[in-house]
Amino acid sequence: MAQSYSARSRAIEPFHVMALLARANELQAAGHDVIHLEIGEPDFTTAEPIIQAGQAALASGHTRYTAARGLPQLREAIAGFYAERYRLNIDPERILITPGGSGALLLASSLLVDPGRHWLLADPGYPCNRHFLRLVEGGAQLVPVGPETRYQLTPQLVERHWDADSVGALVASPANPTGTVLHADELAALSQALKARGGHLVVDEIYHGLTYGMDASSVLEVDDDAFVLNSFSKYFGMTGWRLGWLVAPPEAVPELEKLAQNLYISAPSMAQYAALACFQPQTLEILEQRRAEFARRRDYLLPALRELGFGIAVEPEGAFYLYADISAFGGDAFAFCRHFLETEHLAFTPGLDFGRHQAGHHVRFAYTQGLPRLEEAVQRLARGLKTWADR
């Protein structure tokens, strides 16, 4: 019966980590203490001012559709955020509010990719990016990247992999799963390389705000024609509210609005009203405290993993992930993850979920648990490595 389903559906791969997560939940339900370092979701609940704003919106009856581009006051608030944080003058008319960052990616890929055409994507990278391209009958040209380019695309890689069917590149800064950041000069060089070939630059800035010891540059500082994907899920801690945004060149907005009207009508109205509180000083103070906590977690877990023998060649500057090479321990990443789940009740993600380039030799740790849990996780890793070696 499954053969009657579409080829595009069959081509989209499931998350390998979901099988591990299901098993982790079984173990937890059986009474085991499972430490979850596999899912990219902050452990903090949504900040209280945002929750209160959402409750007030519900009480006031703000439960109807909004305009397809989103609440004007929220688009204005986001534009104000760009002015405050990046010193950028972004017209609110260029901003579309979307159902999560995924909604922004759906709009951008629908607009820019015809059937049979493709974007260049770094491998490893976030898997849904290539799957969205498949959904619109386009494709992803995965470009193998490693520590020598900090796991990012470069103008040289664009030149090497560009072909007649290429229409652009999608990069992430900070990136999932590696946490690396593209700096302003690197973004400018990528923009120039793509414009020279008539290509579009799309930048995933979903982890902006979660950088450590520095602030990430927006691509809009160096290329006003770029498309920017962002989200309220990570820095703003609104994962379950399903809210994001897309910044586009002015001439693209009418087409994007038409797509939004047809694909999802509008983003959730209650979430949009709640998000207005994201930019209040008291909320930003809470979020900056959480950023500092993530920095402490990274600064503990990074050297601890290296001391155990994990290979982390590039120090991540953002997000909340450590992408680690397990070559020193032998075996394949999925079996490695399964071993620690079954023996130590410690869950983390195999590299297979992030691409193909050396994926079987890498795992991702999400430092989305507090320091005491991370310390316990390191103890379990040390113990589990001994049983892994003796298997």
| Helix (H) or strand (E) run with residue 384 in it | helix 371-389
Lowest mean pLDDT among 9-13, 118-122, 125-129, 274-278: 9-13
Please give the average per-residue pLDDT across 131-137, as a whole number: 93
Report d(CA 26, CA 37) in Å as an integer: 16
* 118-123/139-144 β-pairing: parallel
Q: What is the pLDDT of residue 40?
A: 85
Report d(CA 66, CA 64) in Å as an integer: 6
- Whether the per-residue pLDDT at 121 is higher than 80: the answer is yes
Please answer whether residues 201 and 219 qualify as being in contact, where contact means their C-beta atoms are separated by less than 8 angstroms. Answer: yes
- The residue whose two tokens read 């490893």 is 124
**Per-state percent for the chain, helix, strand, coil, to nearest 5:** 50, 15, 35
- Domain 7-45+283-390 sits in CATH at 3.90.1150.10
Please answer whether residues 170 and 129 qualify as being in contact, where contact means their C-beta atoms are separated by less than 8 angstroms. Answer: yes
Is-same-fold flag (7-45+283-390; 53-280)? no
Tell me: the pLDDT tens digits for 149-162? 999 999 999 999 99
Closest alpha carbon to 228 in 199, 204, 264, 207: 204
**What are the distances in angstroms from CA 55 to CA 62, 277, 297?**
10, 12, 32
Report d(CA 63, CA 355) in Å as an integer: 39
Closest alpha carbon to 239 in 70, 49, 46, 57: 46
Tell me: the pLDDT tens digits for 169-197? 999 999 999 999 999 999 999 999 999 99
Lowest mean pLDDT among 2-11, 180-189, 349-358: 2-11
The answer to whether the bond into 174 is cis (omega within 30° of 0) is: yes
Please answer whether residues 328 and 388 qualify as being in contact, where contact means their C-beta atoms are separated by less than 8 angstroms. Answer: no
- Whether the per-residue pLDDT at 3 is higher than 80: the answer is no
Closest alpha carbon to 323 in 308, 336, 311: 311
Residue 226 has what DSSP assignment? -
- The residue whose two tokens read 């072909």 is 163
Report d(CA 308, CA 102) in Å as an integer: 36
Q: What is the pLDDT of residue 343?
A: 97
Q: What is the pLDDT of residue 39?
A: 85
**Confidence class of residue 2 from pLDDT cuts 50, 70 and 90?**
low
Q: What is the pLDDT of residue 19?
A: 82
Lowest mean pLDDT among 120-124, 131-135, 153-157, 244-248: 131-135
Please answer whether residues 216 and 205 qualify as being in contact, where contact means their C-beta atoms are separated by less than 8 angstroms. Answer: yes
Report d(CA 131, CA 219) in Å as an integer: 24
Tell me: the pLDDT tens digits for 240-268? 999 999 999 999 999 999 999 999 999 99
Q: Which two three-digit tokens encode residue 226?
A: 């770029």
Report d(CA 19, CA 21) in Å as an integer: 5
Report d(CA 302, CA 281) in Å as an integer: 31
Q: What is the pLDDT of residue 12?
A: 86
CATH topology of domain 53-280: Aspartate Aminotransferase; domain 2 (3.40.640)
Choose between 348 and 331: higher pLDDT.
348
Q: Is 13 left (phi over 0), alpha (psi -120 to 50) or beta?
A: beta
Report d(CA 66, CA 276) in Å as an integer: 14
Instruction: Phi first, then psi: give them for residue 362, nearest 5 degrees.
Output: -130, 155
Break the chain into its structural domains and give their ranges.
Answer: 7-45+283-390, 53-280
Average pLDDT over the chain, rounded to whole?
Answer: 96
Report d(CA 327, CA 347) in Å as an integer: 19
Report d(CA 52, CA 152) in Å as an integer: 39
Closest alpha carbon to 367 in 293, 314, 317: 293
Tell me: the pLDDT tens digits for 60-107? 999 999 999 999 999 999 999 999 999 999 999 999 999 999 999 999
Q: Is the dihedral of CA 185, 202, 14, 139 positive or negative?
A: negative
Q: Is the dihedral of CA 300, 311, 342, 26 positive or negative?
A: positive
The SS3 assignment for 324 reads: strand
Tell me: the pLDDT tens digits for 269-279? 999 999 999 99
Beta strands in 92-138 (DSSP E): 95-98, 118-123
Terminal Cα distance for the chain, rounded? 41
